[in-house]
Structure 1
Amino acid sequence: MEDAEEQHWVEELFPPHFNVEDLLGGKSHHFLISEKLASDRAKRVEEIYSVAVKQFQEEQKLKQKEYISKMTVREYKMDLCQTEKDSKGWQNTAEEKRAINCKRSDMLTSVEEGIKEIENHCIWTDQELALLRQAMFRKDLEGHFLKTQLLAMKTELENLKAKYKNLEDDLETKDRKLSESKQEMHCRTVHLEQIERENLKKDFELQTLKKDLQERSASMRVLNKELRQIKIQIQDLHFKNKELAQELKKLKQQHESEKLKMMEDVKIQYSLKVKKLQKEVETIKIELNTEKLQHARHISALEVLRKHFASLPLSNAVDEFRRSFF
C-alpha cells in the first residue's frame, strides 16, 4: 500500500525518463530497454572511434617524424606541396587554405631573403647554411602544423558551439514537452480520480445487485423446493388419476354389463307385459264382440218394441211402457 501511494500506477506503466533536476544534475534513473541499448551502442562506437583516433594520431606523428627526418632543403617545394595535401585531411575551407598558403609563401620568401643576406654578409660555410636552412624548415613545418591544428580546433569549437546550441534547443523542447506531459499527467490524474469515483459508485451498485441476487437466489431456492413438492403432488395426483381411470373403466364395464342385464330384463318384462296386454286385448275384443252382439240384440229388441208401441194407441202405449219398465 505504501509503495502504491508513493508511486502512481501510471508512473509505473509509463516511467518518466528525466526531470529538471536530472537534466541540471546529469542524472537519470529510468531508462527504457531500447534507450539503454542505444546508449551502450553509442558508448561502444565512441570507444572504437576514440581508439581509432588515437591510433591515427600516433601514426600521423610517426609519419611526421619520418617525413621531417627525410626532408631536405632541395626538396623544399615538393615537401611544401605534400604538406598542403596533408592539410586537406583536416577539412579546411578554400578561403582558409588560400590564406595559409599566402602566409606560408610570404614566410618562406622572407626566410630565403634572410638566408641570402646571411650568405652575402656573413662568412658561414655551406654546411652551416644547410643546417640553418634545415632548422628554419623544421620551424616553419612545426608552425604550419600548429596553424593547421589551430584551425582544426577552431572548426571543432564552432561545431561544439553549434552542438551546444542544438542541445539548448533540445533542452527547451524537452522542457516544453515535460510541461506538456505534466499537464497531460494532471489531466489523466483527474480523469483517473473520476474513474475511481465511478468505480466506487459501480461497486456500490454491484453490492446492491449482489444482495438482490442473493435474495432472489433464496426465493428461487424456496420456489424450487415448492416446485419439487408440487411435482411430487402432481405425480401423486397422476397416479391417483390413473387409479381413478382404472376404477372408472371398471365401473363403466360393470355399468355396461348391468345395463345389458337390465335391458335384457326390461325386454323380458316388456315381452311379458306385451303378451299380457295382448291377452287382455283379446279378452277385451271378445268382450267387445259380446257387447256388440248384445247391443245389436238390444237394438233389435228396441226396434221390435218401437214397432209394437207404434202400432198401439198413445194411452195404451204409455201404460204399456210403464208396465214394462216400472
Structure 2
Amino acid sequence: MVHTRRGLSGRIAAALLAAGIGLIPAAAPAADPSFTREVRFLNPFAPGGTSDLIGRILADQLSKQIGQNVVVENRTGGGGVVAAQELARSNPDGHTILLASMGVLTITPQMQSVPYDVEKDLLPVANIASVYNILVTGPRSPIRRWQDLAEMAKDRSRTVTCATVGAGSSQQLSCILFASMTGGQITQVPYRGGAPAILDISTGRVDVMFGNMPEFLGQIRDGGLRAVAYGASEASPLIPELPVISRDGLPAFIIPSWFGVVVPGRTPDAMVARWNAELNRAMQAPDVQRRFTENGLQRLGGTREDFLRQIAADRQRWGGIIREHNIRSD
C-alpha cells in the first residue's frame, strides 16, 4: 500500500511537471510596504500659512493611520525650491514626503532654473486640497474695493506694494496678473510664508496681498485684516457677501491654488501606491473633513493619474499666462 501511494505520487508529480505545473507553493501576494520609522513631511512655507495648516492636519491623521509619527518640517525659501530640492536629495524609501504647492510643480520651473528635474526628481502621489485667492488689506487702508487698488496702482506718484511668498507662487502670479490686466504698477515684497506677510499688511507696512483664504480667515474675523475681493468664479460660502473679481469687471481673474503630496523620484511603485491609498483614506476621515471645511479648504484626493492630469493642465495654463504677460521671477 505504501509502495502504491509513492508510485501514484511520483506519477502525479511527473504529470504536473510535464504540464509545466510545479509543486512549489505559489508565492503569496507581496505585502504593502511598511513604515519602519518617523516620516518627514517637508513643507515649503513658514508656519502659520495655508500649506502649514494642511500639512499639520494631514500629519495628525496620517500618524494615526500608519503607526509612525509624521512630523512636519518647514524648509522655507525660494518659493518652495529649497524644500523641493531637499526632497529630491532624500532617500526614495517613502519616509520623506513633500506637500508641494501648485507653484512648485507648474509655475516656478517655467519662470526660473531650479536645481532638480521637476519631471524626474519629484514624483506626484495625490492632490490634497484646493483653495482660491482672496485680496486683503490692512484695517486702516484706503482700499475698499479692488477698483481702488487698480486706481492707486496707476498713480505713479506713489508705490503700491503687494506681499508674495516667493517666485512662482500663486500670490506672485496674482499680483502680476492683476497689475497687467488693470494697467497699473505693483511692487512685490517677498516673504517666506503667509504669516509674516500678514503681520506687515495688518500694520500697514505693505498695502495688499492676494493669498489663500484659509490663512486670512482668523485675522479677517478678528479685524486685523479687511477682505476686499475674492479671486474665484463664484462667491465664497464662508464670506458670501465678498465681491467676486471675475463677476465684477475682470472675468479672467480666477486664481485657484492647490497643494499635493509628492515623493522623491525612484520611489518604488508599491510605496507610491501605499501613500496614495493612505492619503485618500485620510481625506475621508471625519476630523480632516471638518477641519478642511472650517478653514475654507476643498478636499481633493483621487488617483495619481488624476493628479498628473491636473499638473499638466495647469502647466499649460500658467505657461501661457507667463508668456503672454512676459512674467519673470525677478
* Structure in which a larger fraction of residues adopt strand: 2
Q: Look at both structures and tell me which one has the larger radius of gyration over its CA atoms.
A: 1
Measured against the shorter chain, the TM-score band is: under 0.3
Q: Bigger relative contact order, structure 1 or 2, given CA contacts below 8 A and separation 6+?
A: 2
